[in-house]
Amino acid sequence: MENTDSFLHVLDGDGTDVTFAETGLPGERLVWRDVLYEGPRTGAVPPDERELAARARYLTADAPPGRTPTPEGALRMLRAQYARLRRAAAEGTPLVLWFDACLFDQAMLAHVLACLSVWGMPPSVALICPDSFPGHPRFNGLGELTAPELASLWPAREPLTPAHVAHAVRADRAFALRDRALLEALAAESDAPLRFVPAAARRLLQEFPDPVTGLGRLEQLALQAVAAGAHTPPEIFRAAAQLDSPPQYWGDSQLYRTLNRLAEQTPPRLVIDAPGGKIPAFATPEELAPIRVRLP
């Protein structure tokens, strides 16, 4: 039997990490945390200190003063995840990458592999990336699975090759720069080494402003949810998720950031009845409860 004690499992979020800890699969875990299809990116691989600091500020921009994570805390987190991946590359640690088929995860997957293309690929790098799972008719990703369900994916891991890495480098640049021509080229691929990247590129293209409405798809879903009667942030999240098609690439922080942007437009598309007129990042359920979002 393969010894997995030395493996580093790179996971796509804290939700997966909590469940993964109960799978019984040995090895260290590294949770990758960043929204790599939006915010300030230069396309540099790996990003330099200035870019990391800009991303830390972006990720915490809607947080009230003193909220955890602070920009300084987010910067430490970003530094640490890159440092751990780089050490794994230097030491030749076997890697298993656990990512979903959605835009959020495909952007992270492409970036992780692009970084490894610079630092050096360990001898063993494998990918687990399901787009469906028995008993989950509306499957959105690994975070929905139980520990036994996650563990059952282990035998299906796919060894990654130089072709996967070369494709990831192109995809990472397209996602980083949000370059329409590069994204359209990815979206048109019919036999991509990373088979879910084309759909992720198509989804990101849908987030570009519509020439008629000026809205991206998530903005449209958010406005539809409010117009249909959802007015608290959690209500809007649930309603927009039902309107969307799986795999859902966005989480609550992305949605609430989108709602804030809609409220900040001139004229505003939404009104947020909350201190400062915006939904605070990293808010607790108790803090979200009194907030109301409405059409102007």
Look at residue 64 in the predicted model and tell me its pLDDT: 83
Whole-model pTM: value is 0.95
Cβ distance 256 to 62 under 8 Å?
Answer: yes
In total, the chain counts a number of residues equal to 296
- Which phi and psi (to 5°) does residue 8 adopt? -110, 115
Low-confidence ranges of the chain (pLDDT < 50): 1-3
* Residues 27-49 pLDDT 10s: 999 999 999 999 999 999 999 99
Q: What is d(CA 125, CA 289) in angstroms, rounded to the nearest whole number?
A: 44
Output the CA angle 166-143-194, nearest 5 degrees.
15
Q: What is the pLDDT of residue 5?
A: 66
pLDDT at 2: 47
- What is the model's pLDDT at position 4? 52
Return the pLDDT at 1. Answer: 39
Query: pLDDT value at position 77?
Result: 97
Beta bridge partners of 9: 29, 96
Q: What is the pLDDT of residues 215-250, one digit of tens each?
A: 999 999 999 999 999 999 999 999 999 999 999 999
Round to whole Å and give the CA distance between 276 and 32.
31
